Structure 1
Amino acid sequence: MHLLQPQTEVNVSSLMSTISTLDSDISTDQVQLSAWEKLSTETEHVDWLILHFNHWFSHLNVSLVKGDFEPEYFPADLNGPARIQFAHGYFNSALHEISHWTIAGDQRRLLPDLGYWYAPDGRSKEQQALFEQVEIKPQAIEWLFAKAFGRKFRVSLDNLTGEGGDGSSFKDNVYTQLQAYFKGEAKLPRDAWRFIQCICHCTRAGKMLQANEFQREMLD
């Protein structure tokens, strides 16, 4: 899947250092209902994420919203901002949909569902291979998000009733992509980088992610 118009991207070797200063609008003083470390339930985590994401990215006219059914992206229109709708109020679904949004870039954000090709559960072997190829970068970025929040990340092949694909190979590819971000061999989308900065500011006292926090066996 090619991006129609890639975002400005950043080298992320700087992920391995501590941020000394952040934009003033990253501050949570005026929006934070409770410190992240004081939260304990999934509902509290989800509500915190929605509140803060919508604050951090309000300048891009986008909102993160709970969905009752499957995830979907709705472009901005005359009635309101773009909506990143995640599935069933699940925290990890929200992180996954945000990762796709950060990759999409400005032009694809004008399209329903970010212009993605998608075949539902029950894909053939060939369709599953294409699905996995498109999912490597989003799931590597989702892993960064999850680690910043201190949450468990699991890869998803998302094809329970079809050809399962090679789960081990897919995990290898996700891990390789993540390491490429740390080594500077690949560039992280602008808004993924900003989101990681914001999360770490709230959950890790500004300490950024380290490459040695990620091991391949964590995906098994």
Structure 2
Amino acid sequence: MGDGDGAAARELERLFNRVFFDRWKTRLLGGAEEPLYLPAGDDCDHHRVIYREDYFASAMHEVAHWCIAGERRRQLVDFGYWYHPDGRSPEQQQAFEQVEVKPQALEWMFMVAAGRRFRLSADNLSAEEPVCRGPSRAFAERVTAQARQWSRKDGMPSRGEQFVLALADFYGAPDPFDATHYQDMPL
């Protein structure tokens, strides 16, 4: 199944909304040109985690950011994060990788729980320097270490754990907390 899978993405929206809307007043929505988080405000009485097009992996990644964000960040547009677009310098890419370890580790766990393949993303395909285009070995190692730690439920964000369990139940995936899922990933 390709990433641009509208039926699977809508199914994921329904699952997320069923798990989180009542308590957290947050909905998962697709169809955007770019992902975005919008807190509730005058124009809308609930928070919105908005992912790109009908891309299942984009939805999972944006949900991971939401699961990690604390109360203060969930009141800010896009959680208050800076974002340098594709084409980042080596320094910008290093900063990007530092803030992406936890979201990508959690996204990996979500993908395992959904029975899907995870792809580590450097999100920098237009970089002028080829070394910046793909994920670094150090980044892959940090994401792997974080996923292994959370597979032991050591410090895992509670909403992240809740969604991993909901995904595994919905998709019938084998134990997503089995550390053997989180081995060194190929680059």
Give the conservation status (yes or no) of the 8 Å contact 2:40–2:48: yes
Q: CA deviation at 1:197?
A: 1.3
- 1:47 aligned onto 2:10: yes
How many residues get paired? 178
Residue number in structure 2 paired with 1:113: 78
Q: 1:127 & 1:183 partners in 2: Cα distance?
A: 32
Unaligned runs of 5+ in 2: none
Deviations 1:178-197 (A, max 9, x none): 1122345x411110011011
Q: Tell me how large the CA RMSD over aligned residues is.
A: 1.9
Between 1 and 2, higher relative CO (CA 8 Å, sep ≥ 6) is seen in 1
- 1:215 aligned onto 2:183: yes
Q: 1:209 to 1:180 in 2, by over 3 A?
A: closer
Q: 2:103 & 2:173 partners in 1: Cα distance?
A: 25
Q: 2:181 & 2:101 partners in 1: Cα distance?
A: 19
Amino acid at match of 1:155: L
Deviations 1:105-136 (A, max 9, x none): 11110000001121111111111100000001
Give matches, 1:49-68, under 5 Å: 49-58=12-21, 59-68=23-32
Deviations 1:153-178 (A, max 9, x none): 00000111224165222111111111
Structure with larger Rg: 1
Picking from 169, 175, 179, the partner of 1:201 is 169
Q: CA deviation at 1:93?
A: 0.2
Q: 2:164 & 2:81 partners in 1: Cα distance?
A: 24
Q: CA deviation at 1:213?
A: 2.2
Q: CA deviation at 1:43?
A: 1.9
Q: 1:191 to 1:183 in 2, by over 3 A?
A: closer
TM-score by structure 2 length?
0.88
Picking from 81, 104, 107, the partner of 2:46 is 81
Unaligned runs of 5+ in 1: 1-40
Q: 2:182 & 2:174 partners in 1: Cα distance?
A: 18
Deviations 1:38-86 (A, max 9, x none): xxx9222111101111111012011100133010110011322111110
Give the conservation status (yes or no) of the 8 Å contact 2:112–2:176: no
SS at match of 2:147: helix
| Identity across the alignment (%) | 39
